[in-house]
Amino acid sequence: MKSIYFVRHGESVHNAAKRFNELQTPLSERGIRQAGEIAERASKLSVELVVASTLKRAQQTAAVVAKRLGVNMESSAFFVEGIQSSRLLGKEVSGPEITEAHKSYHGNFTVPGYRFEDGENFDDLKERALAGLAYLEGRSEENILVVSHGFFMWIIAAAAVFGKDLTAKECQGVIRGFDLMENTGLTVLTFDAPSHKAVGEMVSPWQLKVWNDHAHLG
């Protein structure tokens, strides 16, 4: 059985300042400490490979983990954060622009084809999450640690649970009902190739085993 350990990046300087992250926002000092804590925890798992989103905060987190574990680190654009309207990057999260944008984005999330400005829409996110899962399925390693992002982890979890026919309504249920992962929180997906008997039954070969375990943070 394949196990994928998804880790949200450590706290970034924008997370700390309650601003929307930019592509190159680095970890805060606290985020660097958190990366050390999850690296320690991950040393008890038999991780063979670290895959990191190409964004800086994920790369920094993954580098700490890969170094501690002594395994290779690869980068993948499959696991970058959900792409937001470029106008919002770096803005204060409680400011008027983002409050208004959330109202439109989440209010119209289930409207077919809806897109907020130049950000990714539901169809884009779903396609990318399923492609990312297919990529992990195709890797030869059995135990992979992936460093990704808060919003995108909801999409990954929804795609894993509901499979290729994931609807916007199901995805919205996950976004609404699962809390945002903590910085360096751990989410575990397992992959079981469906048995012949189960082929007609299973909707997704992936199972959500753990969401946002952060016991290492105390």
Partner 1 sequence: MRNYTQGDHQSPLTAKGREQAVLIAERCAKLPVDIIISSTMRRAQETAQTISNRIGTQIESSDLFHERKSPTILDSNERYRSPLRQMRDAWLASFYSESGERVEDGENFSDIMTRAGEALAYLETRPENNILVVAHGFILRTVLSHVLFGKMISPEEFRKFILSVRVENTGISVLHFDPDGTETYDNMPIKGWFMRVWNDHAHLG
Q: What residues make contact with partner 1 under the rule CB under 8 A? A: 20, 41, 44, 93-94, 98-99, 102, 106, 150-151, 160-163, 169-170, 173-180, 190, 201-204, 206-216
The secondary structure of residue 187, as a DSSP letter, is E
Residue nearer to partner 1 on the CB measure, 73 or 188 = 188
CB of 167 to partner 1, least distance (A): 8
Nearest alpha carbon to residue 144 among 136, 155, 152: 136
- Show the tokens assigned to 48: 């063979």
Q: What sign does the CA torsion over 172, 176, 179, 184 have?
A: positive
Taking the least distance from each CB to partner 1, the nearer of 128 and 149 is 149
Q: Are 70 and 92 in contact (CB under 8 A)?
A: no
Give the shortest CB-81-to-partner 1 separation in angstroms.
Answer: 11
Residue 146 DSSP class = E
- Choice between 76 and 110, CB closer to partner 1: 110
Closest CB to partner 1 among 74 and 107? 107
Report, in Å, the least distance between residue 199 CB and partner 1.
12
Question: Which residues is 189 bridged to in the sheet?
Answer: 4, 208
Q: How far is the CB of 10 from partner 1 (least distance, A)?
A: 17
* Residue 149 near residue 58 (C-beta atoms within 8 A): yes
